[in-house]
Amino acid sequence: MESPNITTDRLALLALKSHVTSDPKRFLATNWSTSTSVCNWIGVTCGSKTLKVTVLNLTGMGLVGTIPAHLGNLSFLSRLNIMSNSFQGLLPNHLANLHRLKFINLSNNKFGGEIPSWFGSFSRLQNLYLFGNNFTGLIPSSLCHLPKLESLNLGNNNLRGQIPVKIGNLSTLKSLHLGKLSGQIPGTIGDLLNLERLRFSENNLTGPVPSSIGNLTFLSYLDFSSNSLSGALPFQIGNLQNLEILSLGNNSFSGSIPPPIFNISTALMIWLGFNQLSGQLPSTAGLGLPKLEGLYLEINELSGPIPTFISNASNLIFLQLTNNSFSGTVPDTFGNLKYLQRLDLGHNNLSSKPSSPVLSFLSSLTSCKSLEVLIFDDNPLITGELPVSVGNLSASLTLFYASHCNIKGSIPGEIGNLSKLLWLGLDHNDFTGTIPATLGRLRELQDVDLGSNKLEGSIPSELCHLERLAYLTLTDNKLFGPIPECLGDMVSLRNLFLGSNNFTSIPSTLTRLDGILFLELSSNSLNGSLPTDIGNWKSVTNLNLSDNQFSGAIPSSIADLMHLTHLSLSGNMLQGSIPASFDELISLEYLDLSRNNLSGMIPKSLEKLQNLKHFNVSFNILQGEIPGRGLFGNYSSQSFIGNEDLCGPSRLQVPPC
């Protein structure tokens, strides 16, 4: 038998049901029935003594609608949780009557308007979660007077203004998350002595971090990332001896990193990347970080040697030091980091041991059996040869990137042992010898870049076994011979860069690559006619066949390349006329037909190409009137020079027609 005390509660909940415009899972439609007790309705809990509704939990039901004022009649309600729905509109003022509320979670809905000041009258409130709505305006000062508040989350709204100075009054607060605010972090933040989690990420905060932050000795999570904070990092951060997560990345902090940060023995993750931090790391860095799993110092101005003691942080999984000015040799002690998964040392001034002909640090890294990502690109002082032990690197390695160094010698065939490799970047080095056929074993490979070296010989047919390869770059080497016919069977290829070599012919099979997007074969010794079925490259956007020895006419099927934006056929021996069907290449932005033997007139139909910003037909034997409409009014004389029989306006430095 239902208590008569609950009639008011029943009416309040039925009012809520009537304000729900969509109930996709039919939770309320099938369960909130007048024929059953309110206390048995889904999401409703009643007190055992009062038989009044004490808890309303509609989390994640997919409900759409608004909140009626009647909900304020649930006079014994202590917990209200309607997170992860699509409730919208303003919160009715009648909810201010819910003085017994201890827990409110309205997160991930679409509520708007200002945060009501009456939240500040809930003297029993311990948890207030308004995350992920459309609330606007300032944070009401009344929230700073909630005597029992332990968690406050206002993140991911459209709030403005500054962090209230009186925030320090919330002496019981354990977790604080604010978003979209500006101004400085008030020093009173240091009065929140019970705080365990503090998140101000992705705001517009400026100025320094107050030194009072060091008072928050219970803090385990500190995230001020992605703001405009500046100045030096306070030494007092080192006082936070319970800190597990320190996230201050993507700001404008300067000066050196305070050494005490490297003595927070509880730290699991330290992110200081994307700042302007400078100076050297303490030589003892790593000795006081026994639990550290992630150290992210990327994109700063740090210098000096990488401390060998970093390897004493034996639980490191991620070490990100890229884009700094670190110098000295890569420590061999990195091999002691048995859990290491990602090592990124790129874009520094690191060097290899001058006494060793090979890169010895790679041999030490063979002990890191969990290593998945190894990057040390753009360190021009790293010289020597890849050791054959590179084939003994982790069987989990997916990315090996060593471009823009000064690595010499041949590419060891043992690299073919890295069976999980997805990306291999060895471009812009001084590699000599041939491309190892063993690369064909790496069946997971998606991207290979060996460009800008001194590699010789032909492309090994074994590369055609790489069925998942999407990017192949061999540009700027000394490769020669015909392009292998089997490349035409690599249907996953999207980008093929073979320019600046000595290749002699395109196989007819290459036009089977109907998914190719970028095809760059310039500056070779390719001869003969262009493929008549060139139109099969239906997806191609960039096609560069310039500076070869192609002859014959431009195939009319080239007009089928509807996605083409860049086309260069310059520097060949092409003959015949410019196909009028070029006017069908509506996406074309760049067309270079210069330095050929093309004749006839420039088709007036090209005036229709509204995206053609660059047009060059110089040094051919074209004749007749230069088209004048469309973008032709923007081209200079350089586009037409070297065609003695063209005529047009004087600004193009040709005779009048």
CATH code, domain with 334: 3.80.10.10
- Look at residue 202 in the predicted model and tell me its pLDDT: 96
Is the per-residue pLDDT at 2 higher than 70? no
Structure tokens at 605: 């139909």
**Residue 461 forms part of a structural domain:** no
Does some domain include residue 380?
A: yes
Report whether pLDDT(394) > 60.
yes
| Amino acid code (one letter) for 492 | S
Q: How many CB atoms within 10 Å of residue 13?
A: 24
In a domain, 567, yes or no: no
* Residue 558 pLDDT greater than 70, yes or no: yes
Let me know if residue 568 belongs to a domain.
no
- Tell me: the pLDDT tens digits for 449-478? 999 999 999 999 999 999 999 999 999 999
pLDDT of amino acid 118:
98
Fill in the amino acid letter for 343: L
In the chain, the amino acid numbered 505 is: S
Query: Which residues, 6+ apart, have CB-to-CB distance to 274 below 8 Å?
Result: 249, 250, 251, 298, 299, 300
Q: Let me know how long the chain is.
A: 657
State the DSSP H helix or E strand holding residue 351, giving kind and residue range, or none if neither: strand 349-351
pLDDT band at 5 (very low <50, low <70, confident <90, very high): low
pLDDT digits (tens, 9 = 90+) for 334-353: 999 999 999 999 999 999 98
Burial of 527 (0-12, 13-18, 19+ CB in 10 A): middle
Q: How far apart are CA 370 and CA 250, in angstroms?
A: 28
Query: If pLDDT is split at 50, 70 and 90, which confidence band does 366 have?
Result: very high
Q: Is residue 505 one of the residues assigned to a domain?
A: no
- 612 has pLDDT over 80: yes
Asked if residue 247 is part of any domain, the answer here is no
Provide the pLDDT for residue 6.
80
Question: Helices in 343-391 by DSSP H: which ranges?
Answer: 360-364
Q: How far is CA 303 from CA 46, 281, 310, 467, in A?
A: 63, 8, 15, 43
* Tens digits of residue pLDDT in 258-275: 999 999 999 999 999 999
Q: 367, 398, 429 — which closes off a domain? A: 398
583 to 166, 327, 557, 611: CA distances (angstroms): 68, 55, 12, 11
Q: Dihedral of CA 618/621/624/627: which sign?
A: negative
Q: How far apart are alpha carbons 362 and 364 in whole angstroms? A: 5
Total structural domains within the chain? 2
For residue 354, name the pLDDT band (cuts at 50, 70, 90): confident
Does 406 score more than 70 pLDDT?
yes
64: nearest Cα among 29, 110, 106: 110
Q: Is the pLDDT of residue 320 over 90?
A: yes
- What three-state secondary structure class fits 388? helix
- Token pair, residue 295, equals 């150290």
Would the pLDDT of 246 be above 50? yes
Domain contains 164 = no
pLDDT tens-digit readout, 477-511: 999 999 999 999 999 999 999 999 999 999 999 99
Q: Write down the pLDDT at residue 4.
A: 56
pLDDT in tens, 189-245: 999 999 999 999 999 999 999 999 999 999 999 999 999 999 999 999 999 999 999
Is residue 284 within 8 Å of 307, Cβ to Cβ? yes
Token digits of residue 564: 């083409």
Segment 627-655 shows an average pLDDT of: 95
Q: What angle do CA 436, 440, 445 make, to 5 degrees?
A: 110
Indicate the pTM of the whole model.
0.92
Burial class (CB in 10 A: 0-12, 13-18, 19+), 354: exposed
SS3 188: helix
**Alpha carbon distance 540, 515 (integer Å):** 7
Quick check: 295 pLDDT over 60? Answer: yes
Whether pLDDT at 63 is above 50: yes
Which residues span the domain enclosing 123? Answer: 1-132
What order of strands is seen across the sheet that includes strand 349-351? Answer: 182-184, 204-207, 228-232, 252-255, 276-280, 301-305, 325-329, 349-351
Tokens of residue 230, six digits:
């500046």
Using the 8-state DSSP alphabet, how is residue 393 labeled?
S
Domain end among 89, 107, 132:
132
Residues 436-454, mean pLDDT to the nearest whole number: 98
Mean pLDDT of the chain: 97
| Residue that finishes a domain, picked among 75, 103, 132 | 132
CB atoms within 10 A of CB 418: 26
**Partners of residue 400 on adjacent β-strands:** 374, 424
Distance between CA atoms of residues 154 and 179, nearest Å: 6
Q: What dihedral do alpha carbons 82, 88, 94, 98 form, nearest 10°?
A: 20
- Under a CB-based contact definition with an 8 Å cutoff, are residues 159 and 182 in contact? no
Instruction: Record the tokens describing residue 434, joined without a space.
Output: 């041939």
d(CA 216, CA 240): 7
- Residue 254's CB is within 10 A of a number of other CB atoms, namely 16
pLDDT exceeds 70 at position 424: yes
Long-range contacts of 529-537 (CB under 8 A, 24+ apart): 529/553, 529/555, 530/554, 530/555, 530/558, 530/569, 530/574, 531/506, 531/555, 532/557, 533/557, 534/558, 534/561, 535/559, 535/560, 535/561, 536/511, 536/512, 536/560, 537/511, 537/513, 537/561
Task: Give the CA distances from residue 222 to residues 60, 102, 270, in Å, rounded to whole numbers and listed in that order.
Answer: 29, 26, 10
Q: In what order do the strands lie in the sheet with 406-409?
A: 383-385, 406-409, 430-431
pLDDT at 1: 46
Domain assignment present for residue 472? The answer is: no
* Residue 536 near residue 561, CB atoms below 8 Å: no
Q: Region 391-404: what's the mean pLDDT?
A: 98
Mean predicted confidence (pLDDT) in 53-61:
98
The separation between the first and the last C-alpha atoms of the chain, rounded to the nearest angstrom, is 103
When pLDDT is cut at 50, 70 and 90, the band that residue 3 belongs to is: low
Task: State how far the Cα of 173 lies from the Cα of 178, in Å rounded to an integer.
Answer: 13
